[in-house]
Structure 1
Amino acid sequence: MKTFITIAIQWLITITVFAAPLSLEQAKALALQNNTEYLTAKASFEAAKWGKNASLGSMLPSLTLGGSFIYMDPATTVQTGGAPTTLNHDFRAVSLNLSQPLYMGGKLWNAYKINGIAEKMARLGLRNQELSLYSKVEELYLNALQMQAIMKISELDLQSAIRNLEIAQLKYDNGLISNADLLRLQSNKASKDVSVLQARTAMQLSLRSLMNYLDLDEVPTLVEIDQSDNSLVQTSLQNFDNAQTDALIDRAVNYATDHNIGIAINEQSVQIAKRSYSIAKSSFLPTVMLTGSRTYSENGIDRYEFEADNQLILSASIPLLPQYKNYAASRQAYYSMRQSELGSVSVKRGIRLGVESSVLALISNVKQVNAATLALSYSEESYRQLQERFRNNMLSAGDMLDAELMVMSARTALTNSMYSMLKSKTALLQALGTDNPRMLTNLINGDTEE
């Protein structure tokens, strides 16, 4: 078993070849360059932008150049001046044709507006993908930092176990403790070795997850994140009462109503449904088209001698029968619009509930950090006193192990609560529709300005 653990530790040390330092902002920039989902959303935005331009062309006049060649056998004979005249076998004609839709019942205009809305939705979708990407990178980055902190705690715990085992060995040599107590401390030290190995493995896995997401070839050296904004949030929220919490929830919900990307996309979907209903109703309306042409054609006698012929046509049409299909299509579009409007209400409620939950989670985690900090201070102070008593043979080995466990649990609880607070802050920022941490600080302080 010891041989296996030694080999495993050596293997982990071998693969841990750290590359240059990688900050959180650098990780986000790398993700924007390499993430396929973000690049797909970017391509969708470009496609929607050009789709809007293409729909604009449907409302512009079209000009075409046409030509024809006709060969007739037998040749046509006509009466001219009382005598028959045989025309050429071949005729040529060239024409310019111009068409301009004047009124199509609003179909073209609404189609153009729908494509414009689709462009806005694609832009919002791109921004939403960017925020989701930032949130995912930050989650993976924080997970890796958290596992590094847990590993350091495990190493500190192992060092403490080694020191206590050395003291116990001296006591055993002097006949002050039993062999059972010594074996218990030796077993505790061996379990700490395994804990360090497990913590290192967890750290490696978290780093690998970050590497895979960023498409990195080497294990990065993570940089501790700037805690200035987090300290402001923690200091401000740790003493919040119920009234202050409710006020913050109201401010956050109001901000999210105006800035949450999910709400904005849903509102644009409602606009598309309304435009689609207008297009469906336009099937009952008349259409007006203006067309004109100028044709140059041979007279049949003189080759390549062309005569001009001009035409200008204003045409209008109105659908009469069957109208049932148009009516059914309009009712379908109407209820699709109603479905979209009612769904929008549910989406807004869900997002607002999510914002409220995120605010409560952040405040809860902040208070948990404060409680864990006090618990750690108490645990460390108690451990120092108990360790001194253990050195003086005034404390049993079992009580000393309980004290070690208490300190390690307190350190782990503080680390986990700290990173839970950071993750809940990231989740709240995404729910608000921003990646600016100062905006959260402003909301906490009652300032809703951008």
Structure 2
Amino acid sequence: MGILLFGILLVRPSAGQEEVSLSMEGAIVRALERNNLIRSSRFAVEKARWDRKHAWSMLLPTLNLGTRMSRIDDRTFAERDFRRYFGPELADQIPQTVFQTSYATSLDLSVPLFNAQLMNGISLARAGEEVASRTERVGREQLLFQVISGYLNVLKAGEVLRLQRDYLELTRLNLEKAERLQRADRYSRVEALRWQVEYKQQQSAVVSSQAGLRTASTGLGRLLGAEEGERIAVEESVPERLLRISEELAQREDTEILRMGQVADGALIEGNAALAAGRAGEEVSRLSHRQAKAAYLPNLSLSYSHAWRENNTLAMDDYSPKTLMVFLQVPVFSGLQNYTAARSAYYEYRQSREELADQVQNTRFLLNDVVSRIVDLKAQRELARASVELGEENYRIVARQKEQGRVSNIEFIDAKLSLQNAQLSEVTSHYDLIAATVELHYLLGEMESLIE
């Protein structure tokens, strides 16, 4: 079926509104630029990258410079300064160790030598970065699928509305003709009323189609971030690349199309963005379980301190004691905290595995459903095309016979309705087949191939 060219405005023109005309590719670009969730996922990726760097930084030495000032009262100072118990000649020879106002300064270096939780934290941060990256891809492919599907819905609703309006106008002309013939006593009142009922039915169909177009337009506008007072116009037809891919799929044998749903679990998980993100999340759960078990392992660290002895001046000009220490911490009993945390993490890991398995089964069900639908839509489209050809020929014959008075008014209306329904079925099956093609590519993780 040739694509009928038409222009559709998502919102009726009104004063003060700005019109933006977008192709499908333009709509995709705009959605990717303006969608809040896409921007949020990009920030999530950046956060995950810095989380990984932070995990590495936890293994680096830390160096701190500390200074302490203290002041004691006169009585306490007098009690602590033992030099007062000696004579003046000895007091000058004994170094002062107690000061009423004193300062102490030290440089402290700490180096982790072995810490299983810190090392596992690096793997956990890497897995978190993978989850963020996969989640960003999920959001992008979901948005591509939604925008393309929404764009197709607008085109489909617009073409259906155009057909309904054409038939409404044709019915109006026939109604006026029937009323003239009734006034000339060439038509009965029943025949005129039949055309009036048909006209009301066509009006109802137009109103319903307008509502469908408004709904489709509103949905697309939401995806594109339409602002207040902004009107978005879509282009007249489906992009050639998408049409070509859909037609190439329709030309395949039914068995070949059905085999497209028979994908191995590994390939399906790797291709489908949501499943890949789920597997990355499962890996995070596994590493979280390992992180909890790492609490049972000992920690080894090195500490070095270079200090200046406490005196009554900020100047670091006194004796400098140096201290080197190695700390070994072995967890013996933690009140079952480590055990309960490890068990909780284990069951969280098991939960994520089961959720991923269910997600794979659900995706496989959707994949088999969409390939079956494509096979069905192929047959429906061929039937609709044959029905349109038959309906057009039948309508021409009945129209000639009606002019000759050989058929009744009801038979003529039935022929017109038959042609109308066939044309609507052709439009519906055509766009539904394209939409099913898009859904197939979405489930297989091949959305990028639909974009030029």
Provide the residue aligned with 1:97 in structure 2.
108
Contact 1:23 1:225 in 2 (8 A): no
Structure 1 residue identity aligned to 2:69: F
Deviation at 1:403, TM superposition (A): 0.9
The 3 A distance-change label for structure 1 pair 196 and 34 is same
Distance (whole Å) between structure 1 residues aligned to residue 411 and residue 322 of structure 2: 109
Distance (whole Å) between structure 1 residues aligned to residue 118 and residue 419 of structure 2: 72
Distance (whole Å) between structure 1 residues aligned to residue 367 and residue 88 of structure 2: 93
Contact 1:299 1:305 in 2 (8 A): no
The 3 A distance-change label for structure 1 pair 33 and 280 is same
Match of 1:161 among 152, 168, 171: 171
Is it true that 1:386 corresponds to 2:398 in the alignment?
yes
Provide the residue aligned with 1:281 in structure 2.
293
The 3 A distance-change label for structure 1 pair 18 and 300 is closer
Deviation at 1:184, TM superposition (A): 2.1
Deviation at 1:399, TM superposition (A): 0.3
Provide the residue aligned with 1:5 in structure 2.
none
Distance (whole Å) between structure 2 residues aligned to residue 304 and residue 229 of structure 1: 77
Provide the residue aligned with 1:398 in structure 2.
410
Over residues 146-173 of structure 1, what are the superposed CA-to-partner deviations in whole Å (9 max), with x where a residue is unaligned? 1110111112212332444465467556
Match of 1:354 among 366, 383, 386: 366
Distance (whole Å) between structure 2 residues aligned to residue 250 and residue 86 of structure 1: 88
Distance (whole Å) between structure 2 residues aligned to residue 421 and residue 18 of structure 1: 34
Match of 2:329 among 317, 321, 327: 317
Match of 1:247 among 242, 256, 259: 259
Deviation at 1:67, TM superposition (A): 0.8
Is it true that 1:68 corresponds to 2:60 in the alignment?
no
Provide the residue aligned with 1:33 in structure 2.
33
Alignment of 1:40-439 (within 5 A): 40-72=40-72, 73=74, 74=77, 76-78=81-83, 83-84=90-91, 85=94, 87=96, 88-104=99-115, 106-165=116-175, 168=178, 172=182, 175-216=185-226, 217-223=229-235, 224-238=237-251, 240-242=253-255, 244-251=256-263, 255-298=267-310, 305-322=317-334, 324-437=336-449
Deviation at 1:288, TM superposition (A): 0.3
Distance (whole Å) between structure 1 residues aligned to residue 158 and residue 426 of structure 2: 14
For 2:141, what is the secondary structure of its paired residue? helix
Deviation at 1:314, TM superposition (A): 1.2
Contact 1:299 1:307 in 2 (8 A): no
The 3 A distance-change label for structure 1 pair 372 and 238 is farther
Contact 1:97 1:294 in 2 (8 A): yes
Provide the residue aligned with 1:21 in structure 2.
21
Over residues 58-93 of structure 1, what are the superposed CA-to-partner deviations in whole Å (9 max), with x where a residue is unaligned? 111111111112334415234799823473433222
Distance (whole Å) between structure 1 residues aligned to residue 420 and residue 162 of structure 2: 11
TM-score of the superposition, structure 1-length normalised? Answer: 0.85
Distance (whole Å) between structure 2 residues aligned to residue 184 and residue 237 of structure 1: 41
For 1:83, what is the secondary structure of its paired residue? helix
Structure 2 residue identity aligned to 1:234: E
Distance (whole Å) between structure 1 residues aligned to residue 174 and residue 344 of structure 2: 78
Over residues 428-450 of structure 1, what are the superposed CA-to-partner deviations in whole Å (9 max), with x where a residue is unaligned? 222112313459xxxxxxxxxxx
Contact 2:249 2:257 in 1 (8 A): no
Distance (whole Å) between structure 1 residues aligned to residue 307 and residue 341 of structure 2: 41
Contact 1:238 1:363 in 2 (8 A): no
For 2:136, what is the secondary structure of its paired residue? helix
| Superposition CA RMSD, Å | 3.0
Deviation at 1:409, TM superposition (A): 0.8
Distance (whole Å) between structure 2 residues aligned to residue 345 and residue 301 of structure 1: 69
Q: Which runs of 5+ in 1 are unaligned?
A: 1-11, 440-450
Structure 1 residue identity aligned to 2:105: V
Deviation at 1:237, TM superposition (A): 2.9
Distance (whole Å) between structure 1 residues aligned to residue 321 and residue 410 of structure 2: 111
The 3 A distance-change label for structure 1 pair 163 and 231 is farther
Q: Which runs of 5+ in 2 are unaligned?
A: 1-10
| Greater alpha carbon shift after TM alignment, 339-348 vs 377-386 | 339-348
